[in-house]
Amino acid sequence: MTARCSWATTPELIAYHDQIWGRPTTDDQALFKALSLEIMQGGLSWETVLKKAEDFDSAYDQFDYRKIARYDRYKYQGLLQDSRLIRNRRKIQAIIHNAQVLVDRLAEGETFADYLWDLIDDTKKQSDSNDAMSQKILKAMKKDGFTYIGPATMTAFLEAIGAFNPHQAACDWA
């Protein structure tokens, strides 16, 4: 029998736990999707977000931040009116804004993965705990212009992308 983290209790959560959560990735779209979904999750259950994942992929151009950065008011209004999605104005604005920050911030040829993993690697060297690392990365990303991210969102994001091993000790993935 497979031992998982205690929160992986439904088919959606089990699939997410087994296939995505805690696995390091350098795929820009997967990273931006992880950040965006963590923003969307604020105040909601993770299962609610996962059940809408395919709809988010479709509505947000598979989380290609270069495309999202070019969203105009018509696309924004369409997202607000799409009943398949979480229609929170501030969260939608944050995703679009964060995509624009990435496009403006990244040098020619640099990727979100380059930016993020350089930040993670530098911070790991200076931090004595995952919480301290999370706080330092949060501070740096806010300084760079990212919005709608806080301590809980940042920790969940770093866990999701495998910046550190988030699995419980009894979990087979630990």
Which tens digit of pLDDT belongs to each residue from 9-29? 999 999 999 999 999 999 999
**What's 74's domain CATH number?**
1.10.340.30
Instruction: From the candidates 7, 12, 16, 173, give the one annotated as an active-site residue.
Output: 16
Measure the CA angle with vertex 111, ends 109 and 117; round to 5°.
Answer: 135
Does residue 92 contact residue 65 with C-beta atoms inside 8 Å?
A: no
Does residue 75 sit within a domain? yes
88 among the known binding-site residues?
Answer: no
- CA 135 to CA 97: how far, in whole Å? 21
- CA 38 to CA 67: how far, in whole Å? 19
Q: Check residues 107 and 36 and name the one with the higher pLDDT.
A: 36
Range of the domain at 22: 11-161
Residue 128 has pLDDT above 80, yes or no: no
- Number of neighbouring beta carbons within 10 Å of residue 58: 12
Residue 139, amino acid: K
In this predicted model, what pLDDT tens digit does every residue of 40-80 receive, in sequence order?
A: 999 999 999 999 999 999 999 999 999 999 999 999 999 99
- Give the mean pLDDT of the chain: 95
167 among the known binding-site residues?
Answer: yes
Per-residue pLDDT averaged across 85-112, rounded? 94
- pLDDT at site 56: 98
pTM of the model: 0.94
In this predicted model, what pLDDT tens digit does every residue of 129-172 receive, in sequence order?
A: 888 899 999 999 999 999 999 999 999 999 999 998 899 999 99
Q: How many domains does the chain have?
A: 1
For 63, the token pair is 């989380």
Does residue 144 sit within a domain? yes
Does residue 93 sit within a domain? yes
Instruction: From the candidates 21, 38, 148, 159, give the one annotated as an active-site residue.
Output: 38
Does residue 171 sit within a domain? no
- pLDDT at site 150: 96
97 among the known binding-site residues?
Answer: no
Per-residue pLDDT averaged across 80-101, rounded? 98
Active site residue 38: yes
SS3 95: helix
166 to each of 35, 81, 105, 108, how far by Cα in Å? 16, 35, 29, 33
Does residue 40 sit within a domain? yes
- pLDDT at site 142: 98
Does residue 22 sit within a domain? yes
Does residue 43 sit within a domain? yes
- pLDDT at site 130: 87
Does residue 174 sit within a domain? no
